[in-house]
Amino acid sequence: MKRYISLIILPLLFTLVSCTKDFEEINNNPQGFTTASDGSLFNGIIESLVLTGNEQFYINNEILYKQTQLAALTKEAWGNYTIGTEALWENYYKILPSVRELEKRFDEAEPSASVTNMKAMLDIVFAYKTFKMTDIFGDMPVSKAGYGFQSLEDLHPAYDTQREIYLSMLDKLRVADSLINDTTLQVEPFLSFKSFDKLFKGDLSMWRKFANSLRLRYAMRMVNREPEIAGNIIKEILDNNRPLLMGYDFTSPVLESACLWPAAAGFKNESLNWSFREHNNLRMGTNLWHRLSANDNADGSGIFDPRAYIFFEPDGNNLWSPYPQLPDITTPSSGGVPYGEHRDDAGNFNIKGENCIYSPFNYFIIRDQDYMPIILMTGAEVHFIKAEAYLRGIGVARDWDMADIEYLNGILSSVGWWTKLAKTLKLPLSGVKFDDMVAIPQNLTVTKVLQHYGSFNATTDEGFLDFIYTQCWIDMFRQPWDAYALARRTAMTPREGDALNHFRMPYPPTEKQYNAENCNEAISRQGGDSPESKIWWVK
């Protein structure tokens, strides 16, 4: 019990005696402070959006890329997935006391527009983190969690059902959007608070867009389980033209997104390259390759989608070579050092090792620790969700033309966003830029993508829906956790072989030990604690 109390209380004490503005500590003396400002607490919560190395290594690279088939896992050499689930669990519950402390402060503060806006920002980021966690694990402690530092009665919090979590977080987002005043004069305490906002830099209009975009995403995510509730949320957002992240305004690129940009936030995403370099088992798979190229020509002459050059690169022999999504005993093994830091030097860039016989991830997107963002949501995804809503008549009248417009905007914005991003990428040791080493053929434009995936190629609603899911799945290339959700919800994302039979991650061992009674009850309620046990919204 003493150890468990320490696990609950110590993270809060650490937070309260530390003060950060960027993601670098500006105070290293724990005896120097007894409290932390609202802004510094909020900064710590934003900082927790940074993916940990163990999450990327053991969950994303080892499990989710394989399950989504956005890439191919050439060898399952790392079975310690619990290291990843522990990292996810710790990241969420270590920061939760800071959320509760800010909630308490805002509730007790003198009412003002500043406090209302600050509370809304907190609720939005809290909802994002909670949705991500529940979509990985299912039921989890939320409403009673994070209060251990306030009351010893709350050290073993009960689990909320995933349905309860969804409805609660969706309502938080609704209220946040309705209460944010993005036109009010910015005065203290908001002026000081927003300097710690490393996500949108205090841009309240972007916070509103993020809130409504998340509402749209998670309403659609539960549509097969709660069609009426989901439809009403989607209807309210679209009918009332609530602000949303926008990728394309039909003829004009807007390319909005919710991302954590390392250089702008004051940190270096060093664990990104570590997770690929030490793992070294991910390569381009045949599934995604066949959605980017019209044939298997190793010289790349069949590639029609410029994103192929951004996501992947040729193998050690300068050939485009996908690893079979379904390898057999005759499949040659993968090797080489395509993710080694020696490639930072322009002269060594093409040295990938003689055994690198399959196309690796593009080195720039897994090595750039300053300008490659952590993507929370893109405007393209919003367009694809709206396209699905119009095509299926979810919350709105069925309208093929509106679905087509949103789908077109989704493709335009995805290709445009990724192409724009690529031009900013550079290698940290040498400063070599993406354009210095990667030449995307000039004839590869969004028009080429539309020749293959334009709605005019779909002869049925189901065929058009397949296109929507495919393009949304491609856009989520560096969001494997969201692609995993899309695959589980729809069972229609591109796939080779058997249907997906992986629906959740088991709870981490420490949770089963320290909150055993509540955890076991949740496991029993959900029908087990294995990957085959479906979470609530998967039918």
- Model confidence over 324-369: pLDDT tens digits? 999 999 999 999 999 999 999 999 999 999 899 999 999 999 999 9
Residue 205: predicted pLDDT: 98
Please report, as a single letter, which amino acid is at residue 487: A
| Residue spans of the chain under pLDDT 70 | 1-34, 151-153
pLDDT value of position 28? 45
Q: What are phi and psi of 18, to 5 degrees?
A: -115, 155
User: What are the residue ranges of helices labelled H in 434-479?
Assistant: 434-437, 446-453, 461-475
Sorted by where each starts, the structural domains of the chain and their CATH numbers stand as: 1-243+507-539 (1.25.40.390)
Report the predicted TM-score, pTM, of the whole model to 2 decimal places: 0.93
Instruction: Quote the tokens at residue 77.
Output: 């050499």
How many residues in the chain?
539
Position of tokens 């934003």? Answer: 46
* Angstrom distance (rounded) from CA 157 to CA 147: 9
* Model confidence pLDDT, tens digit, residues 430-474: 999 999 999 999 999 999 999 999 999 999 999 999 999 999 999
> d(Cα 359, Cα 269) in Å, to the nearest integer?
24
Is-contact 283 360, C-beta < 8 A? Answer: yes
* Whether 260 contacts 47, CB under 8 Å: no
Q: Give the whole-angstrom CA distance, residue 450 versus residue 448.
A: 5
HEC letters along 261-298: CHHHHCCCCHHHHHHHHHHCCEECEHHHHCCCECCCCC
- Give CA torsion, residues 495, 497, 502, 508, to 10 deg: -100
Cβ-contact 336, 356 below 8 angstroms: yes
* Helix, strand or coil, per DSSP, at residue 249: strand
What pLDDT score does 33 carry? 41
pLDDT of residue 23: 58
pLDDT at 332: 94
Structure tokens at 112: 């003002």
